[in-house]
Structure formats: C-alpha cells, structure tokens
A and B are shown apart, each in its own frame.
Chain A
Amino acid sequence: MSARRVPWLAVHQDLGARRRAVLGVLAFLLPLAIWSAFSYLPFLWHPKMLVLDAGDTYLGEGKRYDEAAFHEANAQAAVEGKAPARGEPANPVFLPAPHEVALALVLGFQEPPQNDSDSWLHERIAESLRVIFWGFFWASVVGVPLGVLCGSFMLFARLTEPFVDFIRYMPAPAFGTLLVAILGTQAAPKVAVIFVGTFFQMVLVLANTTRQMDRGLLEAAQTLGADNRKLLTHVVVPGVLPRLYIDMRILLGWAWTYLIVAELIGEKSGITAYIQQQGRYFNFDKVYAGIILIGLLGLFTDQVLQALGRRLFPWEADAAAGPSVLGRVRAFARQARGLEVRAPAQSTGA
C-alpha cells in the first residue's frame, strides 16, 4: 500500500504509529532483558558464591562469599577431610533478579511491618502522596498566580524575580534543618521542603511561559475593546493555560525528586523510610520494589494528567498529544538551566 517504507534511520522523519509503539515497548523490554540476562545466565558476571549447604566449613548457609573465599574454605575442608560446602554462582546481594523484585512488589503490601510502631507499605505510600500533594498544592496556590502576574506585568516581574532567582539557587534540602527547627519533625517540614523545592522554580518557569504569549492576540483583543483586567483574565490566562499545564506536569516531576530528601528530614516517613529500612535489613529486592514504586506512581500520575490535559484543552488537541511533550521537556530543561529569554512572540504587521 505505501509506496516506500521510511528507513529506520531516517533523519527527522516519522516512523509511523506502529513502529513508534513497538519502539516504546522495546524501550522498557531492553533494560529488562539486560537485567534478566545478568540475573539468569550464570556465566554472565555472578561474582559471588551463594552457599546452599555449608557442609563442615565455617561458611554460613544462604550467605554470599567471594569465589576465592569459597574455594579456599572448601580446599581447607578437603585437607581436613571434612564435607565441603555446596554453592552456586550468584550476584551480589544488591542485584536481585527481576522475579524477586516483582514478588517483593506484591508481597510488600501483604507483609506486616517489622516493628509494631511502623506502618504498612500502603500507609507509607499514602504518607508520601500526602506530602507531595500538600507541598505542591501550596506551591501552586501561591506560585501560579504570581507566575502569571510576573509574566504579564513588568512591575511584578522586576519586583519578585531577582529575589526568587536568588533563592532558586539554594538547594531545598539545605533548608531541611531550619524547617525542622521551625515546623517540628512531623509532616509540616516535609511539605515545606517540597514547597521550597518547587515554588521558586514555578514562579520563574510560569512567568517565562506567560511572557511567550502571542502579542498579536493581545493587540487583537485590545482593538476589540478588552480593558487591562479583561486582557489578563480573558486573553492571557486562557492563552497560556495549556502550556502552563504542561509546565506544571514537569514541575510535579521535580516535586517527586524532592520527596526523598523531604522524607529523610525529621522523623523518616513514607516510601523513603521503607526503602531505608529494607536496605538496613539487606532486603534489596524490596529496596528495588520501593524505588520502582515511586517511578510507577510518577508515571501513572503523569499519564493521568496528560489524558486530562487533552480533555481540558481540546483546541490544543494535536499539540498536547504525543512526542511534543518530550520536546517541551527538553525546552524546559534548557529554560530551567539558564532561563534564557526567548525572543518575544512575533508581533503582527510587516
């Protein structure tokens, strides 16, 4: 049907929906395949020996030893005429196999906490989600209006942005001690860390996006009789809303990265506390499960928000969908690094 198949390595060309989907699945399958290979093929890496039966040696059953130490123990046992240990090649304890992690992901929810005072995994997740939600909520309540005002009026921009820009360079974790001293050791300082981590970026990023409003639309609205206030409420806000929404989605991703730091200050809480605790017990399958859980939660919320965005902004239909989001992420990263001032949207007229 198609006259010519686009070669796989065509510069800047669409490979088509089918091949895009296949590649998307492969993006996840390839790392999984590599991980599986290292886990299930005994001749790949496997630098340790897992002791199955200690025999008469000093080796501990179920423990992992360097190959050299294992063979030395067996050699000594042979000299002394004792039963040697049996073992199999294994990976270090910090690299569990995929099925172990998958199992831990399921069992994690069913196992009661090690200590009575601890929380179940689902309670941990709820804790994390609460911290993220409230931190991001308060940052948005103040940050979104302020960002839009800064992007619309130079008065607000010059009054706030230099200072915000200054604070932006102070890493949010640096405020941890201070926030615990002020707000105690419970949830409040954690919410505050998320707030500090996202709010200042939010103001600058949203202001920058708002500034890219098409001047032509503003002028058209003025010639249609829009006054200053209506220009803001009826033109600027709806005009930049879809792009602000994408910015907010990316900022929410940043909130997740601050979550880990937030949960470590004061009384450890949430998924982070779970990961830490399991790490102390050398349950690395559960550590991986915890990390993957964060990734899944982030991916899930972003997918939901993306789908919601398509609903909310139907006029952006093709702009909001698909690969352009990646493009936005890249542009955003550039923006966040230098906050380069892009050329103002082209004005009308010759």
Chain B
Amino acid sequence: MAASLELPSYLDLAPAVRERFARIDARSVVLEVKRVEKRFRSPRGEDVVALHDISFDVHRREFIAVIGPSGCGKSTLNRIIAGLDHPTSGELLLDGRPVSEPGPDRGMVFQSYTLFPWLTVKKNVMFGLQMSGRGGVAESEALQWLEMVGLSDFAHLYPKQLSGGMKQRVAIARALANRPRILLMDEPFGALDAQTRCAMQSYLLQIWENVDITILFVTHDLDEAIYLADRIVVLGRQPGHVKEIISVPVPRPRSPEQLISPHFIATRKRLDDLIHAQDVDAKEIPIPRLTPVGDDVL
C-alpha cells in the first residue's frame, strides 16, 4: 500500500457521527454483558479459559458487531448470550434482568440456516409465535414478516427449495416475528457466496432501519463489521478478551461506496492491526523456488 495515503484517525468522529453516538448512548441499555468468563476442561484435562472478563453494553437499536480471529470465542460469547451456553462466571442482563436460559426475547440467526425442513416457509416463520401461545395471530404476522423480507411468493415452499440467501432471509423473518429484544446473528452470511453476501448486508441494514431492533452481529469479516455496525467489539484470543471497542466513524446511511471512504479505510486498518498483531499464522513463510521462472515474473 502506498505510504503516502493520508488517512484520518479512526478516532476522529465527524460532528454528525458524534451526535449519533450521543443519541445512541442516551437510549436505554438493552443488553449488559458483565465480566463474563468461560472456562472448560480440555480433553487432556487442562483448564482452558475461552473467554476472560468480557464486558460491554448494547443500547437500544444499536447495531453492534463482534469480531476477532478464529478461536477467540466470539461464537461462544454469542451462544452464551442466547442462553445456549452458560458462563462460568459473570452475568448477562437483558433490560436489567439477569438471563441464563434460551428464550424468545433473544432471537438468533445461525450460519447454518437451521430452518425446520418439515415446515413450509410460512410455518417456519409462525413457529415462534405458536410456541409462545400466540398461534391465533401467527399466520397474519408471519405473512407480514415474509413480505418485509420479500418472500411472500415463497410462503408455501419448503426450505429445501430455496437458495442460501433466501433461507437466511426466512431465518431473519422467523427470528424477528417473535419480536425479540435483541437479534443475535452468528456469522449469518458466512456460508453465502460473495455477491449474495453483499446483497444480504444491504438488506439487513434496510430491515434494521425499518424495525425497532437491536442487533449483535458476530463475524470474522472486517469489512462486513464496519459496513454494518455502530460499534465493533474487537476480541483477542487465548484467552478471548475485549481488546477494544471501536465506534465506527463512518456516517449513516451506509452504502457500498463508503467501502473506499478514508474513514472506512482508517477503521479497517485499525482492525487489521488489532486482529493480526498476534496472528502467528500470518507471518511470512519462506517459499523455496522449485522451478526456474522467467525474468518477466516481477
């Protein structure tokens, strides 16, 4: 990269952005992660610390991303918040009340779609409402949510008949139909091809702008995190810990053009430094020359 490129500091927030964050901070705290620690015993009997002293707040309607190198425990953290895993110590407060078991107040979208194959698209979306005894309104609500994700015409198909992107839209509609306090997303677009992934990111932003929902989004894709989030929780590994919480200086509404804006690149560079600093794998590997190469290679 050309050294002459002038980048602003990622900490340097434009007045409009600063004002947005002030507004976010003024809102109530939906999720409070307090000193969460996760240990487990490895097969060899060693005590492994997966997550150490994780604390952060998520305000209402905030879009927060959690990133980190593989093995930093970001998925485990997400599962703990969902109640699918339990912290060794620490506490999770949802609207000020401690939570430990899974519940419809924390919706989750998984990377592997997890749609029920025996239910049609519509019935998948109705599932949560039926579980909570609101079966009466389930159908009309489900159709509304399907319309929101643009899948009204596919209501009677089985998940198997949908593409990956469509499946994930159903999964989002299914989670949102429950009207959760927070939507947890675990690398939801990780299995999609690059183009679908871009489309889904824009799509998710649109949904988020139109629905009163707080989103916690786990990913390992730095661009995705910057493009989507207000704040990014950067985790380090061994043990997983919070390295820094970055307020993204890129103004909203976001659009793909901002991927090359100076603030975007500055943030991207900072994330790169944070995540790859301890990355041993990324060290240069000497490559032996096995066959003669022409002199026009370089």
A residues bordering B, Cβ < 8 Å? 214, 216-217, 219-227, 230, 234-235, 238-239, 241-242, 313-317, 346, 348-350
- A224 and B104 contacting across the interface, CB-CB below 8 Å: yes
Chain B residue nearest to A238 (CB atoms) is: B118
Chain B residue nearest to A348 (CB atoms) is: B110
Of the listed stretches B35-43, B86-94, B127-135, chain A binds B127-135
Q: A216-B112, A314-B158, A315-B118 are in contact. Are A225 and B104 (CB under 8 A)?
A: yes
- B116 and A216 contacting across the interface, CB-CB below 8 Å: no
The complex places the Cα of A329 from the Cα of B74 at a distance, in Å, of 41
Nearest-CB distance from A309 to chain B (Å)? 13
Nearest-CB distance from A318 to chain B (Å)? 8
Nearest-CB distance from A9 to chain B (Å)? 32
User: In chain B between 67 and 115, which residues have their CB closer than 8 angstroms to a CB of chain A?
Assistant: 70, 74-76, 78-79, 82-84, 102-104, 106-108, 110-112, 114
The complex places the Cα of A242 from the Cα of B160 at a distance, in Å, of 15
- A239 and B112 contacting across the interface, CB-CB below 8 Å: no
Q: A315-B158, A315-B160 are in contact. Are A216 and B114 (CB under 8 A)?
A: yes
- B175 and A224 contacting across the interface, CB-CB below 8 Å: yes
- A219 and B110 contacting across the interface, CB-CB below 8 Å: yes
- A217 and B116 contacting across the interface, CB-CB below 8 Å: yes
28 contacts between A and B (CB under 8 A): A214-B114, A216-B112, A219-B108, A219-B110, A220-B108, A221-B116, A222-B84, A225-B104, A226-B131, A238-B116, A238-B119, A239-B117, A242-B118, A314-B158, A315-B118, A315-B158, A315-B159, A315-B160, A316-B117, A348-B112, A349-B76, A349-B78, A349-B79, A350-B70, A350-B74, A350-B186, A350-B187, A350-B220
| B178 on the A face (CB < 8 A) | yes
| B174 on the A face (CB < 8 A) | yes
Nearest-CB distance from B247 to chain A (Å)? 26
- B118 and A220 contacting across the interface, CB-CB below 8 Å: no
User: Among B110, B114, B130, B178, which residue has the most Cβ atoms of chain A within 10 A?
Assistant: B114
Q: A219-B102, A225-B128 are in contact. Are A313 and B118 (CB under 8 A)?
A: yes
- B178 and A220 contacting across the interface, CB-CB below 8 Å: no
- B75 and A349 contacting across the interface, CB-CB below 8 Å: yes
Q: A225-B128, A225-B132, A350-B187 are in contact. Are A220 and B103 (CB under 8 A)?
A: no
- A241 and B118 contacting across the interface, CB-CB below 8 Å: yes
- A224 and B174 contacting across the interface, CB-CB below 8 Å: yes
> Nearest 10 CB-CB pairs, A to B?
A225-B104, A224-B128, A220-B114, A222-B102, A349-B75, A223-B108, A225-B131, A348-B110, A315-B158, A216-B114
Which residues of A are found within 8 Å of B79, using beta-carbon distances? 349
The complex places the Cα of A238 from the Cα of B112 at a distance, in Å, of 19
State which of B119, B178, B186 has its C-beta within 8 Å of the C-beta of A225.
Answer: B178
Chain B residue nearest to A223 (CB atoms) is: B108
The complex places the Cα of A241 from the Cα of B116 at a distance, in Å, of 13
State which of A234, A242, A317, A348 has its C-beta within 8 Å of the C-beta of B186.
Answer: A348
The complex places the Cα of A18 from the Cα of B118 at a distance, in Å, of 31
Which residues of A are found within 8 Å of B132, using beta-carbon distances? 225
The complex places the Cα of A346 from the Cα of B113 at a distance, in Å, of 13
Which residues of B are found within 8 Å of A221, using beta-carbon distances? 116, 127, 131
Which residues of A are found within 8 Å of B186, using beta-carbon distances? 348-350
Chain A residue nearest to B130 (CB atoms) is: A234
Which residues of B are found within 8 Å of A222, using beta-carbon distances? 83-84, 102
User: Among B70, B102, B118, B159, which residue has the most Cβ atoms of chain A within 10 A?
Assistant: B118
Nearest-CB distance from A315 to chain B (Å)? 4
State which of B84, B116, B119, B220 has its C-beta within 8 Å of the C-beta of A223.
Answer: B84
State which of B111, B127, B131 has its C-beta within 8 Å of the C-beta of A348.
Answer: B111
The complex places the Cα of A230 from the Cα of B70 at a distance, in Å, of 35
Which residues of B are found within 8 Å of A224, using beta-carbon distances? 104, 107, 127-128, 131, 174-175, 178
The complex places the Cα of A350 from the Cα of B79 at a distance, in Å, of 11
The complex places the Cα of A241 from the Cα of B82 at a distance, in Å, of 28
Which residues of B are found within 8 Å of A223, using beta-carbon distances? 82-84, 102-104, 106-108, 175, 184
Which residues of B are found within 8 Å of A238, using beta-carbon distances? 116, 118-119
The complex places the Cα of A87 from the Cα of B159 at a distance, in Å, of 71
- A230 and B131 contacting across the interface, CB-CB below 8 Å: yes
User: In chain B between 170 and 198, which residues have their CB closer than 8 angstroms to a CB of chain A?
Assistant: 171, 174-175, 178, 184, 186-187
The complex places the Cα of A346 from the Cα of B112 at a distance, in Å, of 10
The complex places the Cα of A183 from the Cα of B247 at a distance, in Å, of 79
- A216 and B70 contacting across the interface, CB-CB below 8 Å: no
User: With contacts A348-B111, A350-B187 known, what are 10 further pairs, Cβ within 8 A?
Assistant: A216-B110, A219-B102, A220-B114, A223-B102, A223-B107, A225-B131, A234-B130, A238-B118, A315-B160, A350-B75
- A217 and B187 contacting across the interface, CB-CB below 8 Å: no
The complex places the Cα of A223 from the Cα of B172 at a distance, in Å, of 13
Which residues of A are found within 8 Å of B130, using beta-carbon distances? 234
Which residues of A are found within 8 Å of B128, using beta-carbon distances? 224-225
Chain A residue nearest to B82 (CB atoms) is: A223
Which residues of A are found within 8 Å of B106, using beta-carbon distances? 223
The complex places the Cα of A238 from the Cα of B116 at a distance, in Å, of 9
Which residues of B are found within 8 Å of A235, using beta-carbon distances? 116
The complex places the Cα of A3 from the Cα of B293 at a distance, in Å, of 39
Q: A225-B178, A241-B118, A313-B118 are in contact. Are A349 and B111 (CB under 8 A)?
A: yes
Which residues of B are found within 8 Å of A350, using beta-carbon distances? 70, 74-75, 111, 186-187, 220
Q: A219-B110, A314-B158 are in contact. Are A239 and B102 (CB under 8 A)?
A: no
- A219 and B117 contacting across the interface, CB-CB below 8 Å: no
Which residues of A are found within 8 Å of B114, using beta-carbon distances? 214, 216-217, 219-220, 348
- B110 and A220 contacting across the interface, CB-CB below 8 Å: yes
User: In chain B between 125 and 146, which residues have their CB closer than 8 angstroms to a CB of chain A?
Assistant: 127-128, 130-132
Chain A residue nearest to B76 (CB atoms) is: A349
Nearest-CB distance from B118 to chain A (Å)? 5
Nearest-CB distance from B199 to chain A (Å)? 23
Which residues of B are found within 8 Å of A239, using beta-carbon distances? 116-118
